[in-house]
Amino acid sequence: MTDLPAVPAIKPARPYFSSGPCAKPPGWSPENLATESLGRSHRSKIGKTRLQLCIDLMRELLKLPDTHRIGIVPGSDTGAFEMAMWTMLGAKPVTTLAWESFGEGWVTDAVKQLKIDPTVVRADYGQLPDLNAVDWSNDVLFTWNGTTSGVRVPNADWIPETREGLSFADATSAVFAYDIDWAKIDVATFSWQKVLGGEGGHGVLILGPRAVERLESYTPAWPLPKVFRLVSKGKLTEGVFKGETINTPSMLAVEDCIAALEWAKSVGGADGLIARSDANAAALDQIVAERSWLGHLAADEATRSKTSVCLTVEGADEAFIKTFAGLLEKQGAAYDVAGYRDAPPGLRIWCGATVDTADVVALGPWLDWAYATAKAA
C-alpha cells in the first residue's frame, strides 16, 4: 500500500477559489460598508447618488471613453447580455461564437428563442475557432473569457475598426482583468461578482455609440419585457446610465461594489487589478508545470484565461473530481475548485484580482495531497 503524503502544514489564508461569486477583496468586512443608502429608496437622492458613484468609479477604473455609456441592470451578466440580444439583434445577420457553455447559451437564445437563424461557429473546450475568419458584415456575439473552459480571446486585434456589424462581448470574467480596447467593443456585459468580488444578481451593460444608434433606429419584431426596455419614444433611456435603474437594485450589493471599487483604486486601479490576476495565474502555471498529472485545458498560453483557469487531472472522471474537491473543502484548504458541470472533468481555480498570490502558492501542496488521497480511496 502506498503511503499517503502528510497533510500540508500551511493552508491558504483565504481558501476562496470559486469562479463566481468570487473571493471578496482582501480585508473585506461587512462592517466597512457604507450604510446610509440602506433602507432607502433607490429613487431617493442618496440612492441615486450612490448608484451614480458606482457607475463613475467603474468608468474611472476602466478608463472608459466618454463615447461609451455604462449602466447597472438586473439579472447579472446573463440579464445584461440577453437585454442586449433582445433589443438589438435582428437588424443584421448574426454570427455567434461558442467555445464553452455560456457561449452555447447565447446560441440557444439566438436559435430557439429569437429564431434569427445565426451563423454558429464552434470550437471544443480548450480551443478557439478561427477568429480571423469571422464575417464582420454580421453582428458578432462572443465570450471574451470563457469562464467554464479557461479559454479567452487573445486581444481585440481580430475585430476590425471598420466593421459593419456590432461586436457583442460577454466579458464577465474579463473586465478588470484584461486591457480591453473599448473602441472595438460596441456592447460589453459583465457582473461585478467576478473580478471585483462583489455580490451576485446585478449586471453591468456598456454601450458604445454604434450600439446606441442601433437601439434608436431599430425596433425588434418580438415583444420586450419591462426589464429589457432601453428605449422610450425612439430615444435611449439615458437615466439607466445615470443610476436610474430599471427595477429595484439591492443597495447593499451596490455599497459592496463601491467598497470593492475603492479597494481597487487602492491597489493601482485597473492596472493593479490586471497585475494581481497576472501574478496569480503565473503562480498557478508554476504549480502545473511542476506536476506531470496536472495540465491546462487551454493548451495555447496566448488564449489561456488568467482568471478562471481550467485544469486537467490525469485519469480523472467526474466522480474523482468530486472526491478531490470534497477533500480540499473538508480540510478548509480550497473551496469550489471542481470544474463546471458541462466542462470536461477537471479543476477550475479562480485567479482573479481579489485572490492573494500567496494563497495560490500555498494551494500547490494541497493539490498533491488531495490527488494522492483521492487515488488511494
The fold of the 269-376 domain, in CATH, is: Aspartate Aminotransferase, domain 1 (3.90.1150)
C-alpha cell of residue 91: 437588424
* Largest distance between two CA atoms of the chain: 75
Q: How far is CA 6 from CA 10, 287, 372, in A?
A: 12, 18, 10
Angstrom distance (rounded) from CA 23 to CA 15: 9
Return the percentage of the chain with pLDDT > 70, whole number: 99
C-alpha cell of residue 264: 481597487
pLDDT given for residue 5 in this prediction: 80
Return the percentage of the chain with pLDDT > 90, whole number: 98
The fold of the 30-264 domain, in CATH, is: Aspartate Aminotransferase; domain 2 (3.40.640)
- What is the mean predicted confidence (pLDDT) over 331-349? 97
The residues facing 335 across adjacent strands are 16
Distance of CA 325 to the CA centre of its chain: 22
pLDDT given for residue 38 in this prediction: 97
- Say what the pTM is: 0.97
Per-residue pLDDT band at 2 (split at 50, 70, 90): low
Angstrom distance (rounded) from CA 168 to CA 139: 8
Cβ atoms 324, 371 nearer than 8 A: yes
The amino acid sitting at 312 is T
Angstrom distance (rounded) from CA 159 to CA 167: 8
pLDDT given for residue 47 in this prediction: 98
- pLDDT tens-digit map of 21-75: 999 999 999 999 999 999 999 999 999 999 999 999 999 999 999 999 999 999 9
pLDDT given for residue 209 in this prediction: 98
- What is the mean predicted confidence (pLDDT) over 339-352? 96
Domain spans of the chain? Answer: 30-264, 269-376
Q: Mean pLDDT over all residues of the chain?
A: 97
pLDDT reading at 1 higher than 90:
no
- pLDDT tens-digit map of 137-161: 999 999 999 999 999 999 999 999 9
pLDDT reading at 306 higher than 90:
yes
Angstrom distance (rounded) from CA 102 to CA 192: 17
Secondary structure of residue 136 in the 3-state scheme: coil
Angstrom distance (rounded) from CA 168 to CA 350: 24
pLDDT given for residue 356 in this prediction: 98
pLDDT given for residue 17 in this prediction: 98
- pLDDT tens-digit map of 184-242: 999 999 999 999 999 999 999 999 999 999 999 999 999 999 999 999 999 999 999 99
